[in-house]
Amino acid sequence: MSKKYVSMIMPSNEEFIIDIAKSKIPKNEKTIYDAIGFFEDEIFLKSRLNFSRKKVEEKILLKDLINLHDIEGLDLNKIKNLKKTISKKNHIFSNSGLPNVKLVKTLNNNWVVFDGHHTINAYMLNEIRFLSEIPHLIVETDSIYFKEESIKLFYGKHAKKLKNQNWSNYVINWNEINKNQLTLRKHKNFGELNNSIKDHPIIFNNLF
């Protein structure tokens, strides 16, 4: 079983300069969700983070991130409220204080968002472009990347349906009825997903 690490990244006031704290996760924390849980309970909430300031090595655009939900899986009123919060120069965090946005990297160098879809869309609607501009968590292994089977776990009870399938062809929309939750992907990344919000006249008028 490979080692896991969780990094908490916070933007600074300088362009492409971040504050980062990287923590090693015990091997018995088997899944990505287990790693996040350990990080929150045993490191973050116990103030065991050691941040260092670094220059961004990889300038990642929010529009290039891979989404696991389509527009049908989003609460647009939630995005609207988050957008208002961000417009007042506030960042978005969970109730515990952790960043909402959580990502992993795949073998083919794609960054997959497994938590924080509403948050990222709200930042993008405020013209925020780069991942380094928002608080986020990254889970990685010794090799940095996660294999296909680990990514499929994000599809929950529907993961078994993807056994011989390419997970990237599908999204999961938990707010739909069970039989409609797993569906073919409409938007290949957050750029297309965010554009679908902007291009919808009714949605656009409500959000702006």
- Please give the full DSSP string across 117-169, using - where no structure is assigned: HHHHHHHHHTT--BGGGS-EEEEEETTSEE-HHHHHGGGGGGGGGGTTS-GGG
Which residues touch 46 (CB under 8 Å, ≥6 apart)? none
For 150-173, the pLDDT digits (tens) are 999 999 999 999 999 999 999 999
d(CA 180, CA 99): 29
d(CA 182, CA 200): 23
**Total residue count of the chain as it appears in this document:** 208
* Closest C-alpha to 154, from 107, 119, 115, 184: 115
- pLDDT reading at 204 higher than 70: no
For 176-195, the pLDDT digits (tens) are 999 999 999 999 999 999 99
- pLDDT reading at 20 higher than 90: yes
User: Domain map of the chain by residue range?
Assistant: 4-147+165-207
For 27-86, the pLDDT digits (tens) are 999 999 999 999 999 999 999 999 999 999 999 999 999 999 999 999 988 999 999 999
pLDDT, position 1: 59
Residues linked to residue 7 through DSSP beta bridges, in sequence order = 22, 138
Query: Are 16 and 56 within 8 A, CB to CB?
Result: yes
**What pTM, to 2 d.p., does this model score?**
0.93
d(CA 40, CA 115): 14
* Closest C-alpha to 99, from 125, 65, 138, 53: 138
Q: What angle do CA 122, 125, 131 make, to 5 degrees?
A: 70
- On average, the pLDDT of the chain sits at 93
